[in-house]
Amino acid sequence: MRMPGGFRYAATYAGIRKVAKDDLALIVSDSPASAAAVFTKNRVAAGPVIVARQNLRASRGRMQAILANAGNANCATPTAEKVAIETSGATAELLGIKANQVLPASTGVIGVPLDARCIIDCLFRLKETLDPSGFDAVASAILTTDTRPKTAFASIRGDRTTLAGMAKGSGMIHPRMATTLAFVMTDAVVTPAALRTALKQAIERSFNRISVDGDTSTNDTVAVFANGGSKFTPSVKEFGEALAEVLASLAQQIVRDGEGAHKFVTIDVSGAATDAAAEKIARSIANSPLVKTAIAGSDPNWGRVLSAAGNAGVPFDPRQADIEMQGVTVCKGGLAANFSEDELKKKLDDPECVIRFNLRGRGRGKTRFWTCDLTEEYIRINASYRT
């Protein structure tokens, strides 16, 4: 697959994080692109989130650059907004575009002032090294506790138009948008309004269906740029599906790289009254520390799954509940099924786990949700993140 045309990328080490590893990245579209983004719903929004929201509105969804840094969230400091405005302003000036055409994004520690100079001093070098082949370097520069980069690609009708996405995030992944940084570039012809709609729908089927630890950060941003470089206008449906494919892949990669996670868990809920009810049940199972630790220990403790479902705040009759783990029926009509615990324990050692919760109701509500197990490593990582 070819990369989407008309985008160039550059990354460098600006000294924002202690380790000498790229921490500043620039993505530029050769021409103004339709832009859409969704941001954290946290009441405490970082400087770059506030400025990105404003720029997106002021530019009426026509933007040209993304300036992202890792190592500092630029949040809850006296200068947060000012630094975001200054650095994206300087970027715009250097590129000869409008200030509101730059989308800033940051990730890292909260409450430590971010030095605008660190960034501004690197901008010229970044601009000079912008290159269509810099995609992977940028995908690496935005990482924090991630153990690997996350990228995903899709194409529409052969290579008439393509999409390339990257994401960062391994903890704090919450099933209400609010998650991580993700940037998707495409050369499809899409209006800003159509892009917004497509993004909203794709998010519902991707980032809103994952959970690592139930926490939501102050900086989460998912942005899509469509610069029309391919001159090809995909149908709403085909573009929506391609975008959802890229975002679902990125979202799942984030779960797979969940802090300390050893297992990837798919949760299927069906037979609920509505999709929304199924989603509540799936989220409750996915967020239950008792379910997540049971999976970590390969313990077929379906009672915890049933109990977590019972906590979802959705009315259902437990006597209608069937539960499968790794394809084995462990609970039938709310009661223990006949299965070999030892064999199932072995199956649960697999890094891919599937929990199916079927309400056998007349309802057709269903959903699919992704999460990971909760391990001692998660605690180790998070008890010492700053030290």
- Footprint on this chain of a second copy (rule: CB under 8 A): 42-45, 73, 75-78, 109-113, 171-172, 174, 213-218, 287-290, 293-294, 296-297, 299, 301-304, 306-312, 314-316, 318, 331, 334-336, 374-376, 378-380, 382-387
The phi, psi pair for 379, rounded to 5°, reads -65, -45
The one catalytic residue among 87, 107, 179, 221: 179
Distance CA 170, CA 74 (A): 19
Which residue, 78 or 327, is less far from a second copy as judged by CB?
78
The phi, psi pair for 297, rounded to 5°, reads -95, 10
For residue 142, give both structure tokens.
Answer: 């935005």
DSSP conformational letter for 2: P
Which residue, 110 or 130, is less far from a second copy as judged by CB?
110
87 is catalytic: no
User: Helices 236-256 and 192-204: crossing angle, nearest 10°?
Assistant: 40
Instruction: Report the nearest approach of a second copy to the CB of residue 175 (Å).
Output: 12
Instruction: Report the nearest approach of a second copy to the CB of residue 25 (Å).
Output: 22
Distance CA 165, CA 251 (A): 11
Strands 322-325, 161-168: pairing kind: unpaired
Which residue, 47 or 61, is less far from a second copy as judged by CB?
47
How many residues are recorded in the chain? 387
Contact criterion met (CB below 8 Å) for 342 and 327? no
**DSSP-based helix, strand, coil % in the chain, nearest 5:** 35, 25, 35
Which residue, 191 or 311, is less far from a second copy as judged by CB?
311
Instruction: Report the nearest approach of a second copy to the CB of residue 173 (Å).
Output: 11
Instruction: Report the nearest approach of a second copy to the CB of residue 194 (Å).
Output: 31
Which residue, 313 or 327, is less far from a second copy as judged by CB?
313
Which residue, 35 or 278, is less far from a second copy as judged by CB?
278
Look up tokens 């720029």; give the residue: 55
Distance CA 15, CA 362 (A): 58
Question: What is the SS3 assignment for 343?
Answer: helix
Instruction: Report the nearest approach of a second copy to the CB of residue 117 (Å).
Output: 19
Instruction: Report the nearest approach of a second copy to the CB of residue 164 (Å).
Output: 30
Contact criterion met (CB below 8 Å) for 344 and 265? no
Distance CA 172, CA 144 (A): 12
Lateral strand order in the sheet of 210-211 = 210-211, 365-372, 264-272, 352-358, 322-325, 328-332, 335-336
Q: Which residues are annotated as catalytic?
A: 179
